[in-house]
Structure 1
Amino acid sequence: MAVPLYQAKAEFFRTLGHPVRIRVLELLQNGPTPVRELLSALDIEASNLSQQLAILRRSNLVTATRDGATVVYALSTPDVAELLMAARRILSTVISGQGQLLAELRAGAEEVQA
């Protein structure tokens, strides 16, 4: 029996639901990157990075190629970068909306105190 689309989407977003995985995907937007460079850009243990990369690989969000002893990771599709940019736009809108709400709350508090 096939998994319903909404369930597949939920699993996809659960895969994205870890800060290290998001940061790896952001770093890979700049192009294919060796593991050692990912490790130097992140403040985590090599074993943790390996675990997070394995999850991203199993989800087909990244690809891995070997160049001698070096493993190089890349985004599997430009759509991943587009998704991250869309998330940034959405967060910008949400945060700016919260800023407006905060300004209104502060203005209301000043009126009450006056």
Structure 2
Amino acid sequence: MPVPLCQAKADFFRMLGHPVRIRVLELLQDGPVAVRDLLAAIEVEPPALSQQLAVLRRSGIVASSRDGATVVYRLAGGDVADLLQAARRILTEMLAGRNELLDELRETEGAAR
């Protein structure tokens, strides 16, 4: 029985739903990055990073290659970078709305005194 499209989308977003995975994807937006550089930028233990990279690799969202002893990761396609930029825009709009509400609450609180 085929997986419904909405379930496949939910699975995709669930796969993205880890801070280390999001940070890895953000770092890879500018081009390939060696694992040692990912470790330095993210500051997690190597096994934790390895586990999250494996999830991203299995999903097909990143690809890896070896340059001697160095393993380098890259985004498998440009759409991921577009998705991250869209998420940033959406979050900015959401947070701006909250700030406007917070400002309004502060104004009404000051007027009530």
Distance 1:106 1:19 in 2: 32
Identical positions, percent: 62
Number of equivalenced pairs: 113
1:49-86: CA deviations, max 9, x gaps?
00000000011110011112111100010000000000
Give the secondary structure class of the aligned counterpart of 1:71: strand
Q: Which residue number in structure 2 is paired with residue 104 of structure 1?
A: 104
Q: For residue 54 of structure 1, what is the aligned residue in structure 2?
A: 54
- Aligned to 1:66, what secondary structure does the other structure show? strand
Give the equivalent residue in structure 1 for 2:63: 63
Q: Which blocks of at least 5 consecutive residues in structure 2 are unaligned?
A: none
Specify the code of the residue in structure 2 equivalent to 1:31: G
**Structure 1 moving runs of 4+ over 2 Å:** none
SS of 2:36's equivalent in the other structure is: helix
Separation (CA, whole Å) in 2 of partners of 1:59 and 1:20: 15
Q: Give the structure-1-normalised TM-score.
A: 0.96
Normalised by the length of structure 2, the TM-score is 0.97
- CA RMSD of the aligned region, Å? 0.7
Q: Tell me, what secondary structure is at the counterpart of 2:74?
A: strand
Q: Report the 3-state secondary structure (helix = DSSP H, G, I; strand = E; otherwise coil) of the residue aligned with 2:44.
A: coil
In the TM superposition, 1:71-86 aligns within 5 A as: 71-86=71-86
SS at match of 1:77: coil
